[in-house]
Amino acid sequence: MKNEELQELIGSWSPNLTFAVEGSQYLNVSVPIDELHDIMFKLKHNDQTNLDYLFCLSGVDWGEELGVVYHLESTNFRHSLVVKTQTAERENPVIDSVYDIWATAEFHEREVFDFFGIKFNGHPNLKRLFLTDDWDGFPLRKDYEDNINMIIK
């Protein structure tokens, strides 16, 4: 499916989605966090989108907001889509888990939790993956400071 068709189809599901294509080779769609799980579920299970392969799940610290970027691909139609969601909450950010839609999200979400402190609602085993349980702070956030381990130029 072409990007325009995808945009038209997905845009019809909810009025709160914003699309962008500039500065990226994929079609980008920003989803508000309260609609994320529904939209994601449709993206996978809709016959026309069928985005069944979540190949990348990244946490991003946008400065003010914390966000998660999902890169999706359909193994049948070979079209791709980037879904973005973000929250302005920095103290206790919560985003719905998509672990029940793509099993690979279990580990990727744990990684994001580990480095960005984003909690995932409904994740079965949300705990630190790489760092020790008593690690203070979330290293990949832009405001993280560690005078011992980080060399800042």
Partner 1 sequence: METTTLTSNFKSEEYFINMGPQHPATHGVLRLLLTIDGEIIKKVEPDLGYIHRSIEKMCERDSYQQIVHLTDRMDYLSANINNEAVCLTVENALQLEIPDRVKVIRTIIGELTRISSHCLWWGVMGMDVGALTTYFYGFRDRELLNDIFEETCGARLTMNYNVPGGLMFDIHPNFVKRVKEFITHFKTKLPEYDRLLTDNIIFQKRAIGVGVLSKEDAISYGASGPVGRASGYSCDVRKHHPYSALDKVTFNEALRTEGDTYARYLVRIQEMWESMSIVEQLIDNIPEGEHRVATNAVIKLPKGEYYQKVETARGELGVYVISTGTKSPYRLKFRSPGFSNLSLLNHIAVGGKIGDLVATMATLDLVIPDIDR
Min separation Cβ 80 and partner 1, Å: 9
Min separation Cβ 24 and partner 1, Å: 4
What residues from 8 to 37 belong to the interface with partner 1 (CB under 8 A)?
A: 22-26, 28
Site track for partner 1 across 133-152, x = CB under 8 A: ------xx---------xxx
Decide: is 52 part of the binding site for partner 1 (CB under 8 A).
Answer: yes
Whether the Cβ atoms of residue 83 and residue 70 lie closer than 8 Å to each other: yes
Decide: is 111 part of the binding site for partner 1 (CB under 8 A).
Answer: yes
What residues from 54 to 93 belong to the interface with partner 1 (CB under 8 A)?
A: 54-56, 58, 60-61, 69, 71, 75, 78, 82
Q: Which stretch binds partner 1 (CB under 8 A): 5-13, 34-42, 90-98, 131-139?
A: 131-139
Q: Which stretch binds partner 1 (CB under 8 A): 4-12, 33-41, 49-57, 86-94?
A: 49-57
For residue 74, give the amino acid letter. S
Whether the Cβ atoms of residue 40 and residue 101 lie closer than 8 Å to each other: yes
Burial class (CB in 10 A: 0-12, 13-18, 19+), 4: exposed
Distance of CA 119 to the CA centre of its chain: 12
Residues that bind partner 1 (CB under 8 A): 22-26, 28, 52-56, 58, 60-61, 69, 71, 75, 78, 82, 102-104, 106-108, 111, 115, 129-132, 139-140, 150-153
